Amino acid sequence: MTSLERVVVVGASLAGLRAAETLRQVGWSGALTIVSDETEMPYDRPPLSKKLLAGEWEPERIRLRRPDDFDGLRAEWVLGDRAVALDSVNRIVTLASGRRLEFDGLVIATGAAVRRLPAQPDWPGIHTLRSLADSLALRTELEPGRRVVVIGAGFIGLEVAATARTKGCDVTVLEGAEAPMMRGLGSAMGRRAALVHADNGVEIRCGVSVAELTRGHDGRVGGVRLSNGDVVPADVVVVGVGVTPSTAWLDGSGLTIRDGVVCDEFLCAGVPGVYAAGDIVRWPHRLLEREVRVEHWTNASEQGAVAAKNLVASFGGDEPTAYAEVPFFWSDQFTSRIQFLGRAEPDDDVDVVVGDENDRAFVALYHRDGRLTAALGVSRPKQVMPFRRLLAERATIDEARALAASFGV
C-alpha cells in the first residue's frame, strides 16, 4: 500500500453514503466506486415504517440527498449488483455480475438483512420490512378493517403496528419475550413505553411462541398458529423478528466474522485499508468497555464518516480517531417519541426521574454500580438529550439525578 487512488464502498445506504461524502470533504480526489444490491439511490430508512408506510410521504421525499448532491460525489454508482466475494490479499471485490473491482481502500457498509421465521412461506399477505420496495408493498395492504398481525414487538414491529392502526386496521402484536421492546429498554420500561399501544387499541401479547403460519382459502395467509394451538386470524402478517448482519459475501475473505465484521476501535477490519461502518460492525467501544454492534441510524451516519477519515489517515500516516460515541436511537409510535441514550444491561437498576407512574411522558435513568449507563425519554426530548453529555463523561447516577432535579418538572 503506497497510495490511495481507488476506493470502493460496498453498500449505498446511510453509512456508505456518509463514507463517500466524507472522502470528498477531506479532500480525497481519487476514483470512487459505490456498490449496492438495490437499484435505488440512497434513501432514508426510518420513514419506511412510518411516514412512507402511512402514505403521507412518497419515495422522492426520503432520498438522502438531491440529485445534484449525488453528482457532486464524482462517483461511479453500481446499482442492482450484489457483492459476492472479497479477496483481501489481491484487493478485489467480485460482484454477482462477474465484475471485479480492484481497490486500494475499501469501506464495507452492507448493513443487515431481515430474519425470517423458520420455514416461512412466501404466500401473499406475508411481509418483512427493510427496503423501500418492502414498505411500498406493505402499504398497499393496510386498508381499514383488515386484520394485521405483527410478529415481534421490537421497535420496527411496534412502529408498523402503530402505522397500521392509524390506517384503520385491527392490529395484534405477538412477542416471545415477557415485554415489548425488552431488548432495548428492559422489561419494566418496555411495558411502560408500550402503553400508548393499548391506549390506541393495539393488542400486544407477550410470552407467546409462533408455531406456524396458516393459509386461507384464497391462497393468502390466513392466520398465525401459536404453540398452544390458538390461531390468531390475519389478513396481513408482518414478520419483524430482527436482522442479521450481511456478511455471507465475506466468507473466505480473511476478515474475522462474529455477528458482524470484527473491527478495532478505529473501524479497521483487520486488513490495512479495509474499514467498515454501520449495522455490520462489531467493535470494542471505549466508553462502554465492551465489544458491541449497534443497529441505529445515528451510529451508521457517524461511523461512515469516521471510517472514511481513518481510511485516508492510514495512507497519510496520520493518527486515526477511535469511534466511541454514546449510542442513541429513537422511535416514533403514535403520539410517543421514544429516545434512548447509552447501553443498558438486563440487571441495571432503573429510576423514573421525570413523570409519575401514570404519566405516558417520562424520563428514566439506568445505572449500575453507582454509574449512569443509559437514559430513556418518552415524549420528553428536552429533558432526555442533556444526559448524552453525562454518559460521555461517565457520570455517576447521583450527578444524573441532580441534573434531572434541575429541570423543575
Residue 347: predicted pLDDT: 92
Q: Count the helices and strands in the chain (H runs, E runs).
A: 12, 26
Taking only the tens place, the pLDDT of each residue in 110-146 is 999 999 999 999 999 999 999 999 999 999 999 999 9
Residue 354: strand pairing partners: 363
Residue 358: predicted pLDDT: 79
The residue type of 82 is R
Sheet holding 83-87, edge to edge: 83-87, 92-95, 100-102
Residues of 88-112 as b/e, b for ≥16 C-beta within 10 angstroms?
A: beebebebeeeeebebbbbbbbbbb
- Domains for the chain: give ranges and CATH numbers: 6-113+244-316 (3.50.50.60), 116-241 (3.50.50.60), 335-405 (3.30.390.30)
Which residues of the chain register pLDDT less than 50?
none
Residue 124: all three cell numbers together: 401473499
The residue type of 408 is G
pTM here? 0.95
Residue 1: predicted pLDDT: 57
